């Protein structure tokens, strides 16, 4: 994906590229794997999904996420690898309210929020500096993390490349 400055147009372009790759994957999925695929999609934000004042207030400091949620509600990829899910803003805020911030000792500001997960229970956490971290285990209690991206656009590009790799090789890579 050509590097564009991260703005409202960036998530829309990313969504188009991911949707194209998913169409290729779904078109041959049953033939390749022997069963029908689930709903693998980028769910575009509608009017009801747009960033509300509550989301804006709670995600202040996570500006890349706010830009993302203006364009995209959530990403559901149950058939890519063992599954990847970028959670909706409502899900992110609900989890934050119920469980509080996630402690990410590797981050400058160690209070992060879970924004994504995989089908094995691994969580992806955004810190206030913009970096994305992957938990090493399914439990977030005293979890260790690995930084997987310096910022949300880099993480999203990694997701896009993993989908393309999965379409081409049946391996999602190291997401």
- CATH number of the CATH domain containing 99: 3.40.1580.10
Average pLDDT over residues 4-27: 90
d(CA 88, CA 59): 12
Instruction: Identify the pLDDT of residue 87.
Output: 97
Q: Region 111-133: what's the mean pLDDT? A: 95
Q: Is 2 part of any domain?
A: no
Instruction: Provide the mean pLDDT of the chain.
Output: 91
Q: What pLDDT, on a 0 to 100 scale, did the predictor assign at position 25?
A: 95
Per the listing, tokens 């310096």 go with: 150
**Across residues 138-144, what is the average pLDDT?**
88
- In sequence order, which residues have a C-beta less than 8 Å from that of residue 29 and are 6 or more positions away? 36, 37, 79
Kindly tell me if the per-residue pLDDT of 3 is higher than 60: no
- Residue 141 in domain: yes
What residues contact 103, with CB distance under 8 A and at least 6 apart? Answer: 110, 111, 112
Residue 55, domain extent: 9-169
Count of structural domains, the chain: 1
Enter the pTM of the model.
0.92
Q: Looking at the domain assignment, is residue 174 inside a domain? A: no
Angstrom distances, CA of residue 8 to CA of 5, 25, 102: 9, 27, 27
Question: For residue 65, is pLDDT > 70?
Answer: yes
Helix (H) or strand (E) holding 43: strand 41-44
pLDDT of residue 141: 84
Q: Picking from 43-57, 64-78, 143-157, which range would have the lowest pLDDT averaged per residue?
A: 43-57
Is the predicted pLDDT of residue 2 greater than 80, yes or no? no
Residue 3 lies in a domain: no
Which residues, 6 or more positions from 49, have their beta carbon under 8 angstroms from its beta carbon?
Answer: 43, 69, 73, 88, 89
Q: Band the pLDDT of 69: cuts 50, 70, 90.
A: very high
Residue 4 lies in a domain: no
Give the span between the Cα atoms of 8 and 141, in whole angstroms: 35
């Amino acid at each position: 994906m050509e590097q564009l400055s991260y703005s409202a147009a960036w998530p829309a372009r990313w969504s188009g590229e991911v949707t194209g790759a998913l169409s290729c994957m779904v078109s041959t999925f049953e033939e390749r794997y022997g069963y029908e695929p689930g709903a693998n999609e980028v769910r575009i934000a509608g009017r009801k999904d747009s960033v509300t004042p509550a989301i804006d207030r709670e995600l202040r400091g996570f500006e890349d996420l706010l830009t993302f949620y203006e364009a995209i509600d959530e990403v559901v990829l149950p058939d890519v690898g063992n599954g990847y899910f970028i959670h909706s803003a409502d899900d992110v805020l609900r989890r934050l309210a119920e469980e509080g911030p996630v402690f990410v000792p590797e981050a400058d500001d160690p209070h992060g929020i879970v924004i994504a997960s995989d089908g094995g229970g691994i969580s992806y956490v955004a810190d206030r500096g913009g970096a994305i971290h992957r938990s090493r285990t399914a439990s977030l209690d005293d979890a260790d993390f690995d930084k997987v991206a310096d910022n949300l656009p880099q993480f999203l590009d990694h997701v896009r490349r993993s989908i393309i790799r999965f379409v081409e090789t049946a391996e999602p890579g190291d997401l």
